[in-house]
Amino acid sequence: MTGAGAEVGFMRRTFNRLGTIEAGEERATLLAATYFFFALASYFILRAVRDAVGVAAGTDRLPWLFTGTLLTTLAMNPLYSSIVAKLPVRRFIPIVYRIFIGLLLTFAGVIKWGPHTWEPYLGPAFWILTSIYSLFIPSVFWGFMADTFRPEQSKRLFGFISVGGTLGALAGAFLTSRLAEVVGTPVLMVMSVLLLEAAVQSARRFPPSFRPDTRARDEAEQPVGGSAFAGITHVLASPYLLGICLYMLMFTIGSTVLYFQQAEIVGARYADRESRTAFLATIDTVVQSLTILAQLFVTGRVIKWFGVAVTLAIMPVLSLVGFAALGTWGTLAVFVVFQVLRRAGEYAFGRPAREVLYTVVPPEDKYKAKNFIDTFVYRSGDQIGAWSFAGLSAAGLAVSTISLAAAPMSAIWLAVAFWLGRQQLKKQAETT
């Protein structure tokens, strides 16, 4: 065997051990991971800037910022859907991303040279933009992946592809921590723009789709078609898509409740900001390390061997046990274990399995309905969780009692997970 042939053989054996990647899938899988790396690195540079704006705004204004984000996502969905309806996929993805690039460059210019009197309005507007960005950019990416890979491929490959995003998140956060005080916010925003443009170039170089219908549509440069409001109307008309909405709501409500509990438990243990920051940063490091290991060696095999239903059920089971334990004991140690396992479980299992659900829906739903669910429905869960926690706290319920109240919700979530898994198999059989 020649040197080049031996190298190719070694790469294929390595891919197979890591993500069960088969011959002919290497280029698409690596490009997908690269695309996701640049997209999340771009966002994680902006996230630190957004959170700083949120702190400056004050906690009393944060609920209104969340509400503004929710309403803006609802208004943007028909605009985005109209672009999807009129342009071929491989043309509209660069256009959508470059709209965000234009907005970010505008904000960078205004922050650098604009009058200080604009600051009270600029901060909230930027917070809303980046909050939309955090959901919109990955949603478009995963829609493209669901339209590129066949259902059986997605079960093997989406975990490996997710590694690119995890590494991108780490890279973006690292760059920001090192450069924020050196170069300033406008330069960080330009860096974010350059990374997003690199994601655009990765998408443009993507090989032909593995799905015959998608490949034929791309070769003919046909748009997805449909109406501007299909993202909303299709969700309301489909029990399957409504099930995904419910799964998403259960996840985001639980995450928001846990976020408030984090403030209560960690705040009571660590008095100063620096010690809290160091402690939470340690949790982040452990979460990302576990996530990468699981995505590389476990995720693809779990989905392939045990199916989508079992993989989707991992998060509800973790939450059911975790909230019950937190409600019973309520110690910092229980919180840390629960938080680490839940967040790592979402990145390694919940998100990849949830994206597999979209591989069996029509192309229009992969981009329009999915985007509506990933943005508006996701932010709706934030709102429900935040106001529910505030209401229960105002009624005099302790943090431990609220945790116990969240456990039954996880039981409902578990039933939804198994139902969605069965429906995914049924739809996959109908389309093959």
Domain residue ranges of the chain, discontinuous segments joined by +: 21-220, 229-432
CATH-assigned architecture of domain 21-220: Up-down Bundle (1.20)
Question: What pLDDT is recorded for position 6?
Answer: 53
With a pLDDT cut of 70, the percent of the chain lying above it is: 90
- Fill in the DSSP letter of residue 149: S
Over residues 357-413, the pLDDT tens digits come to 999 999 999 999 999 999 999 999 988 887 888 788 888 888 778 888 888 899 999
With a pLDDT cut of 90, the percent of the chain lying above it is: 59
SS3 365: helix
Which pLDDT band, with edges at 50, 70 and 90, does 4 fall under? Answer: very low
Domain 21-220 and domain 229-432 have a common topology: yes
SS3 333: helix
In this prediction the pTM is: 0.89
Q: How far apart are the first and last CA of the chain?
A: 38
The 10 Å CB-count burial string (b at 16+, else e) for 397-421 is eebeebbbebbebbeebbebbebbb
- How far is Cα of residue 172 from the mean position of the Cα atoms in its chain? 15
For residues 313 and 419, what is the distance between their CA atoms, to the nearest angstrom? 10
- Kindly tell me if the per-residue pLDDT of 215 is higher than 90: yes
To which residue do tokens 């660069």 refer? 94
Question: What is the mean predicted confidence (pLDDT) over 408-419?
Answer: 95
Please state at what angle helix 119-148 crosses helix 378-394, rounded to 10 degrees.
130
Question: What pLDDT is recorded for position 225?
Answer: 93
Over residues 337-352, the pLDDT tens digits come to 999 999 999 999 999 9
For residues 70 and 122, what is the distance between their CA atoms, to the nearest angstrom? 18
- Fill in the DSSP letter of residue 377: I
Domain 229-432 has CATH 1.10.3210.10: no
Q: Which of 287, 275, 315, 291 is nearest to 421 (CA)?
A: 315
What does pLDDT average to over the chain?
88
Question: What pLDDT is recorded for position 17?
Answer: 60
Specify the amino acid at residue 376.
Answer: F
Which pLDDT band, with edges at 50, 70 and 90, does 1 fall under? Answer: very low
Over residues 117-176, the pLDDT tens digits come to 777 777 788 888 888 999 999 999 999 999 999 999 999 999 999 999 999 988 888 888
Question: What pLDDT is recorded for position 19?
Answer: 52
Question: What pLDDT is recorded for position 58?
Answer: 47
Question: What is the mean predicted confidence (pLDDT) over 278-284?
Answer: 76
More reliable by pLDDT, 180 or 28: 28
Most confident of the ranges 1-15, 68-82, 175-189, 282-296: 68-82
Burial of 395 (0-12, 13-18, 19+ CB in 10 A): exposed
- Kindly tell me if the per-residue pLDDT of 14 is higher than 60: no
CB-hemisphere CA count at 13 Å for 398? Answer: 8
Question: What is the mean predicted confidence (pLDDT) over 328-337?
Answer: 90
